[in-house]
Amino acid sequence: MREQPTASFYQIPRTFLTPAEIRRGICRVVAKAWRTLGQADVYCSLPEDVEILDDLLWTFNAGAFVPHGPDPAEPVFLTHQDERIREETPVLVLSGPGGIPPAANRCRRIVDFIPAREQERKDARERYRLLKQAGYIMQIYHLEA
């Protein structure tokens, strides 16, 4: 019997006031996913977000090392192109506004984020609704500041 897919949503705290603080929080979740599952794909909604996360994953935590990059050979693969999401990735992390990439339908675990600002929550609510409708087990966590 095939395991039911899971979608984990992390509530971004209101205390994260800048995009850099939000991205550092996302990096902590990505690092946890990599440590737990050994591999993760991070889907960025914009090409420039790949570069920003690539740089930040080196510096977000002085004591942390997360092997990452825009090369699918890396354990943490950063991409903005749906067709490049790896076939067998154990977790797909969605970073940024927008919809769910079509390749997500083959992922058994998805991680997403709920922005603190009300006007930015619309996309997250829609992704939550779509994933729940698709049969994912839904989880909500509070991202620690």
DSSP string for the chain: -PPPPEEEEEEPPTT--SHHHHHHHHHHHHHHHHHHHS-EEEEESSHHHHHHHHHHHHHSSTT----EESSTTSSEEEES-GGGS-TT-S-EEEESSS---GGGGG-SEEEEEE-SSGGGHHHHHHHHHHHHHTTPEEEEEEPP-
Q: What is the pLDDT of residue 92?
A: 97
Residue 1 inside a domain? The answer is: no
Q: How many domains does the chain have?
A: 1
Percent residues over pLDDT 90 in the chain:
74
Is 0.75 surpassed by the pTM of this model?
A: yes
Residue 52 lies in a domain: yes
Position 2 scores a pLDDT of: 60
- Give the pLDDT score at 64: 79
124 in a domain, yes or no?
Answer: yes
Whether 42 maps to a domain, the answer reads yes
**Residue 111 falls within a domain, yes or no?**
yes
Which among 28-42, 88-102, 119-133 has the top mean pLDDT?
28-42
Average pLDDT of the chain is 92
Distance CA 71, CA 65 (A): 17
What percent of the chain lies above the pLDDT cut of 70? 98
Structural domain range at position 69: 6-142
CATH (domain of 62): 3.40.50.10110
- Give the pLDDT band of residue 72 (cuts 50, 70, 90): very high
